[in-house]
Amino acid sequence: MPKLICLGDSITAKEKDPNGTLKLTPRLKQVLPGWTIVNAGIGGDNTRGALRRLQTDVLNCCPDLVTVLFGTADASENKGIDIREYEQNLISIVEQITPQRTLLITSPPINQALLSARKKAFPSANFVTMEILEQYVQVAAKVAVLTGSHFLDLWSLMRSQSNYSRFLKSKDGVHFNQQGYEFLTQVLSQKIQSIVY
């Protein structure tokens, strides 16, 4: 049975919301029943943290394929890292996993208006802008080309939808709601099947 490891931040982390809404890996288990799927997501993580835990959380598990979804925390005010370090971290992650076994995914877009309103109400809240996040998205796309890894442009796929904000939670404008996870599962499972089959 092939093994898929989903490496990422809060969009990947956890199995379900308190209200019972399934997140990414349980949904993938439903649509990819022939796979062993391991969740290696940690909320708020960035590529620096991912590099520190790559050996134990990913490489030691001998995966056949690894999804790598980082960028929002990397581009944020509180947990952000320089875009040049982000690029080098992604390259290192892909090279250690190997490009053939890596599916690099861009960050999804955010609801800027909602996030800005939240920042006004909670000044200490983590914050990122669409403009800065798009620069990190472009770096992820560049790394995919440089390394020859598999690539899913989630940013563009979501932005091509009418009112992509309907995929995001209304309380923060960053994390996915049920519709968002349905969309992500659909595009990601299609991509995985195209790689393997």
pLDDT digits (tens, 9 = 90+) for 161-176: 989 999 999 888 899 9
Q: Mean pLDDT over residues 76-98, rounded? A: 95
Contacts of 69 (CB under 8 A, 6+ apart): 6, 7, 8, 9, 11, 12, 41, 105, 107, 154
Is 37 strand, coil or helix?
strand
The pTM for the full model equals 0.94
Strands (DSSP E) contained in 96-195 are 102-105, 150-152
Strands 102-105 and 65-69: parallel
pLDDT of residue 113: 79
Can you tell me the distance from the alpha carbon of 120 to that of 105, in angstroms, rounded to the nearest whole number?
Answer: 30
Q: Does 123 score more than 70 pLDDT?
A: no
Question: What percent of the chain has pLDDT above 70?
Answer: 94
Can you tell me the distance from the alpha carbon of 38 to that of 74, in angstroms, rounded to the nearest whole number?
Answer: 23
pLDDT of residue 125: 63
pLDDT of residue 116: 75
pLDDT of residue 71: 96
Query: How sure is the predictor about 121, in pLDDT bands with cuts at 50, 70 and 90?
Result: low
Complete domains list, the chain, with CATH: 3-196 (3.40.50.1110)
